[in-house]
Amino acid sequence: MKKETVDLKNVKYYIRTFGCQMNENDSERIAGILASEGAKPSRSLEESDLIIINTCAVREKSEEKLYSFLGRLTSLKKRKKVTIGVVGCVAQLYDSEIFEKKPFVDFIMGPDNYGKLSEIVHSNQEEKISSTSWSQDFHDFPSEKIFRESKISAYVTIMEGCNNFCSYCIVPFTRGREKFRPLQNILQEVREVAQKGFKEVQLLGQNVNSYRDTESKKGFSFLLKEVNSIGGIEWFRFITSHPKNFTLDIAEAMSEAENVCHQLHLPIQSGSTSVLKRMNRSYTREDYLEKICMLRNLMPDINLSTDIIVGFPGETEEEFKDTLSMLEEVRFTNIFSFRYSSRPRTAASRQKNAVPFEEKKKRLIQVQALQKEIQRNFNTSLIGKTMKILCMGKSKKDTQVYSGRNEGYQVVNFKSRDNVIGRFVDVRITSCGPYSLIGEAS
């Protein structure tokens, strides 16, 4: 490696993020590291000196998006001097294989290694650099260095990794085992974002329900009560939950804490107990429905969303119908639905009885059509009601219209005579579609 170093004060960086809220939060940290060294964000790939692609490996499609994006950079690399790094879950999973597929990539970095970013970027890469080591400890990150995309809603990570080894899931291989952030560090970051005027905090982790403070051993329900007691933040949310770890004490903490939103993303994946067993999800259809009943008894107004996978290896028509009936029984406010995608190293990838692609495609269409009707009916029932909305900005489709989310995390587009970005506003719902609500500020 050459001894001369790059002065980041003269560097413009561009970050492209693929994946979930955890990836988005990681990109905010990466941007914070670069900004603290004097680097400036660029508006385009062409004017960038440093391009970082933060990747997701949960589904094969995410990898395809990465390589498609890298393909766009081939000619750019030939035209100008630019450093290109691939970070995140795909980097952790495939490591130096990425260099073989895309030789112009300069460095690779896994999620546990962002603390080494400055050192790598400061150097002139005479050789390819790969940094994908694991750590058993949670690497905390100074809140003041996070370059947050939003000034209204802040991500706060509470844990990383997963110990569940669901048979389809690659997360334990890309994010590692569960690591918990100290409770006091979490609370301190929440206080800091409250002081900066943020209105909402989203607590993040691969399985937040399993959280345990490293010192007191207090669990997630205690954490919810503690963050609720911090003044200045009006809404708290959390993602993602695992049904097997979602217990009565967590539901009670949600119902009792006035600032914790009555909204929950609780992935079921399949409505069939036999499929759930093959997925190694550690709960049955009946277990899940009992938890839904518990939640609605405590919070009748709760909005529920979920994840659905269709076409898991060996899924029969009857097992698939169990998923359709689950959607009709629970009537989720929103779902995220996908065709099963085989991931390397997972137990399901070794199963032979694959569902044909066309059948998976047909089942996904059925799931989405049914859910669309459920959402349309639910949204129609909200017409005429007035609800509290946190305005996040202007509508993407109409700059004369504001856009925000209600407590149930539904998108609400509305008209207002005043500029209400970053504020809570009462909105009367006047119409709707299956995926959003439309209203007027009162």
CATH of segment(s) 386-441: 2.40.50.140
| Alpha carbons 406 and 391: distance in angstroms, whole number | 9
Measuring CA to CA, which residue among 190, 173, 50, 64 is closest to residue 107?
50
DSSP character for 236? E
Residue type at 432 in one-letter notation: C
Read off the pLDDT of residues 304-319 as tens digits, 9 standing for 90 and up. Answer: 999 999 999 999 999 9
Question: In CATH, what class is 8-131?
Answer: alpha beta
Q: Can you give the pLDDT at residue 235?
A: 98
For CATH 3.80.30.20, list the domain ranges present in the chain: 143-380
pLDDT in the model for residue 135:
85
**Burial degree of 1 (CB within 10 A; 0-12, 13-18, 19+):** exposed
Tell me the average pLDDT of the chain: 94
Amino acid 125: pLDDT = 60
Strand order from edge to edge, sheet including 303-310: 263-265, 303-310, 334-339
Q: Is 174 exposed, middle or buried (0-12, 13-18, 19+ CB in 10 A)?
A: buried
| Model pLDDT, residue 291 | 98
Instruction: Give tens-digit pLDDT for 225-245.
Output: 999 999 999 999 999 999 999
Mean pLDDT of 347-357: 94
Displacement of CA 257 from its chain's centroid (Å): 23
Closest CA to 85 of 21, 151, 132, 152: 132
Distances (CA, A) of 135 to 47, 69, 99, 176, 179: 35, 30, 24, 9, 9
For residues 417 and 415, what is the distance between their CA atoms, to the nearest angstrom? 7
For the chain, residues classed under CATH 2.40.50.140 are 386-441
Q: Strands 386-394, 402-406: parallel, antiparallel or unpaired by DSSP?
A: antiparallel
pLDDT of 387 higher than 60: yes
- Is 163 exposed, middle or buried (CB count within 10 Å of its CB: 0-12, 13-18, 19+)? exposed
Summarised one tens digit per residue, pLDDT across range 119-162 is 888 776 667 899 999 888 888 888 888 999 999 999 999 999 99
**Percent of the chain at pLDDT exceeding 90:** 87
Model pLDDT for residues 2-15, shown as the tens digit of each residue: 445 667 888 999 99
CATH fold group of domain 143-380: pyruvate-formate lyase- activating enzyme (3.80.30)
Over residues 58-113, the pLDDT tens digits come to 888 888 999 999 999 999 999 999 999 999 999 999 999 999 999 999 999 999 99
Confidence of residue 1 (pLDDT cuts 50, 70, 90): very low
- Helix, coil or strand: residue 437: strand
Range 183-203 average pLDDT: 97
In the chain, CATH 3.40.50.12160 sits at 8-131
Can you tell me the mean pLDDT for 321-327? 98
